[in-house]
Amino acid sequence: MRRRWLCAAAIASISCSGDDRTVLTVYSPHGKDLLGYFEKGFETAHPAIDVQWVDMGSQEVLDRVRAEGTNPQADLWFGAPAEAFDRAAKENLLEPYIPTWSNSVSVEARDERDRWYGTYLTPEVIGYNTAAVSRADAPRDWDDVLDPKWKGKVLIRDPIASGTMRAIFGAIVARSVARTGSPEAGYEWLRKLDANTREYTLNPTILYQKLGRQEGVITLWDMPDIATLQQRLKIPVDYVIPSSGTPLLVDGIAIVRGTKRPKEARLYYEYVSTPEALKEAAVRFLRIPARTDIARDSLPEWIRVAMTKIKPMPVDRKLMADSLNTWMKYWDANIRNSGRTR
């Protein structure tokens, strides 16, 4: 990983591969297992290309792409909620590209000017430690997490750097705006959540470790990662799909504007979004494909079952793109850790 960080920080025209292959730099929050799997497969199919990925939170990717705008270091951005890609597109940070499968996603899963397209669908859920909380006692909906009985028992990934948590917090505030015309009820909801929060963890790994050790027993996070902890890592966790509705995030992919390797970036873009790659991601990494031309019965059973239970929460994407930064700044300055003194 140190090599990958150093390469990503190097001048784009200099290869860090140690050979004469073309370096393709990918920024992504998808984690080393998925990224390493696709790196190996892509390099086998394209031996003249050396994929070097940098794994970081999706908000961190946006911040980095923005900071590097005049001298891009990344070629491709693989993974983040649509809201983050919408902001990047608005700031002219993404290169338009029409993939070969452009007609196989819904209009909600693509940018109208082809600056990003959806790869996965990511439902947000309530996670809990099954050794400490029974299925019957687990929160059934978002408001249940605010019950005082969970005070000091909730773990939250720091939302400033996390696209997942920003999306959940943003959906709560956007719900308030839709109902009342004001974000105040959403802020009050976040204050009550803060009062129950034991810790805002620095990264997902710490969140998973603490949840597994019962240093907190409730969290808000995405369904594929909770399912991975449960099915693959055998950590005693499970999830509840909120009964009133949940943000069903579109996880996207985009080429970074100014890349010096557009051909290689397009090849990777297409490689990770083929039906075969999406099915493999579903089986190996519990990702739900965004493409609509993949037969539901070809996907794992847990995905088929989950999709029958998910009630998507309506979220105004434009409102999120325009307002989420303001909402998060308010949360950080006025709500974070304020409930611990009450």
In order, the DSSP letters of 195-244 are HHEEEEESSHHHHHHHHHTTS--EEEEEHHHHHHHHHTS--SEEEE--TT
Distance of alpha carbon 75 from alpha carbon 340, whole angstroms: 43
- Would you state the structure tokens that stand for residue 141, as one six-digit string? 């909906």
Write out the chain's pLDDT in tens, 342 residues. Answer: 434 444 444 434 344 556 799 999 999 999 999 999 999 999 999 999 999 999 998 889 999 999 999 999 999 999 999 989 999 999 999 999 999 999 999 999 999 999 999 999 999 999 999 999 999 999 999 999 999 999 999 999 999 988 899 999 999 999 999 999 999 999 999 999 999 999 999 999 999 999 999 999 999 999 999 999 998 889 999 999 999 999 999 999 999 999 999 999 999 999 999 999 999 999 999 999 999 999 989 999 989 998 898 999 988 888 988 999 999 999 999 999 997 654
Place of tokens 């999706």: 58
Q: What's 326's DSSP letter?
A: H
pLDDT the model gives residue 280? 96
The pTM for the full model equals 0.84
Q: Alpha-carbon dihedral of residues 82, 77, 257, 121, nearest 10 degrees? A: -30
pLDDT the model gives residue 11? 39
Q: Which domains does the chain have, with CATH numbers?
A: 2-120+250-297 (3.40.190.10), 122-247+312-341 (3.40.190.10)
